[in-house]
Homo-oligomer: A and B are copies of this chain.
Amino acid sequence: MNRSESPSFGHAQMVEVQCGKEVRIIKPCNLYGCSIGDHSFIGPFVEIQSKASIGKNSRIQSHCFVCSLVEIGDSCFVGHGVTFVNDLFKDGKPSKDERDWLPTKIGNEVSIGSGSTILPVKICDGCVVGAGSVVVRDLTVRGVYAGNPAKLIREI
């Protein structure tokens, strides 16, 4: 680089966010094109992309990233620094075609421990994911899961 040019800047903000009743949001955050149900809470330093939806009475804690096509149910707890994924890089790189992105569906009363990474999966109602886990498969049995990759520790 011989000389420095001026970059263009955007700012973390809220754009076209559909909120239910009594939603509480801590700024700075970067939320766009998503929906957030009644009485849910969004902590600081969170990004939620378009076509993601959060149910009612759920908490998305600080530092989370919720990508497009993630659907989170009611009364869920998503811990601090939890990251969702919708692109498996199947052609060896990110796909720019949204049709290649995969959905994630988190049921109701699911608790996801802080620092976890969630690939495109379904997680059934009432599951608990331990902190620091990497979830790579559907969790179809109500239970406690942990590890990388996350495995069933015990049913509940």
Contacts and interface: CB of A to CB of B under 8 A. Distances in A.
Q: How many of these chains are in the complex?
A: 3
A148 to B, nearest CB: 5
Interface residues on A, range: 35 or more
Interface string A7-34: 1111110000111111111111010000
A4 B27 contact: no
Contacts of A68: none
Given A63-B81, A92-B128, 17 more contacts: A1-B19, A7-B36, A9-B24, A10-B44, A77-B93, A79-B83, A80-B83, A83-B115, A85-B115, A93-B109, A93-B111, A115-B117, A115-B134, A119-B132, A132-B148, A134-B148, A147-B148
